[in-house]
Homo-oligomer: A and B are copies of this chain.
């Protein structure tokens, strides 16, 4: 069955039932001009949105629709996590090529629905339209947080310690495997592809960090560690020193790097889509934050550097020398800087 046969309203009817996730405070989900949420005093609301475009952010042949739907929601939940918030409502806009199989989009919805249900988000409607050629997914997520427990990018101060919650670089390695830039040894590919296609939004971790009041700034790693750290530095008007040896690399990445002959640290610093949380902690809260992670039975965070007067980001290398870093992240619009699907696609135009 093609989309052209069922139409927008036919499709909406087919998924409406399974999208009705009961969430406290949600007065109306799908089925009106807007979704409606009750407002609670003492809390602030958080809004975020992310757009995924076929052949730029994903290729149909490289990710199952279920995982794609899941990921599209996950990356938005990660932004809510980065402020210390709780995601509540999700709005889904899809531009769908007319010849798409309805079943494929139902799989996409199933992925979105499952992650929403897991984290207690309501699906508050959206927009379903035709596309001349590419599938485009736009998700907006609305969340909330306790009024004085929101963590901005702008709160870091000189002397603060910089932490990251877990391994970086696995996702970009997965992307490079998917696009055949790296050929992994037998049996090693799936770990990295999973890191790329199934990111886990660290909602509980983000809430615990923010609620503790121990951190000063936070961001999620979507553009790449250096690029995202630069956002914190710019918004906080500070600089940073990163310890090369402290960047957490997975054993798998080190192994892959050995066999494929690349520097895993480069991937970890500039690759995007890790969706770990990067946060800063005033020196006097160092023990407190480590205790917090223990109490919540979370993997201890990695202390990777410290905030300085700045400006700019410097890196202390293994030999003790210090290098000024030009932060590099994705510039989706620049062919020479691109490290993702579009390279192959747009070059053929």
Taken together as a complex, chains A and B put the C-alpha atoms of A31 and B37 apart, in Å, by 25
Contact A56 B134 (CB under 8 A): no
Given A4-B335, A34-B85, A138-B93, check contact A39 B49 (CB 8 Å). Answer: no
Contact A132 B55 (CB under 8 A): yes
Residue tally, chain A, CB below 8 Å to B: 86
Contact B142 A142 (CB under 8 A): yes
Number of copies: 2
Question: A35 — which chain B residues lie within 8 A by C-beta?
Answer: 46-48
Question: A181 — which chain B residues lie within 8 A by C-beta?
Answer: none
Contact A332 B33 (CB under 8 A): no
Taken together as a complex, chains A and B put the C-alpha atoms of A138 and B53 apart, in Å, by 12
Which of A49, A93, A124 is packed against the most chain B CB atoms within 10 Å?
A49
Partner of A346, one of B11, B49, B50, B132: B132
Which of A144-152, A237-245, A312-320 sits within the interface? A144-152
Which of A76-84, A249-257, A293-301 sits within the interface? A76-84
Q: Does A133 contact B (CB under 8 A)?
A: yes
Taken together as a complex, chains A and B put the C-alpha atoms of A154 and B144 apart, in Å, by 28
Q: What distance in Å separates the Cβ of A326 from its nearest Cβ neighbour in chain B?
A: 14
Contact B126 A49 (CB under 8 A): yes
Q: What distance in Å separates the Cβ of A105 from its nearest Cβ neighbour in chain B?
A: 11
Taken together as a complex, chains A and B put the C-alpha atoms of A28 and B155 apart, in Å, by 13
Q: A34-B48, A56-B132 are in contact. List 7 more A-B contacts (CB 8 A).
A: A4-B335, A7-B331, A36-B45, A37-B45, A39-B41, A54-B132, A136-B138
The 25 listed contacts between A and B (C-beta, < 8 Å) are A5-B334, A32-B152, A32-B153, A33-B83, A33-B220, A34-B47, A35-B46, A35-B47, A36-B44, A36-B83, A37-B45, A38-B44, A39-B39, A39-B41, A39-B42, A39-B144, A49-B93, A50-B127, A53-B129, A93-B138, A98-B335, A131-B136, A132-B134, A136-B136, A136-B138
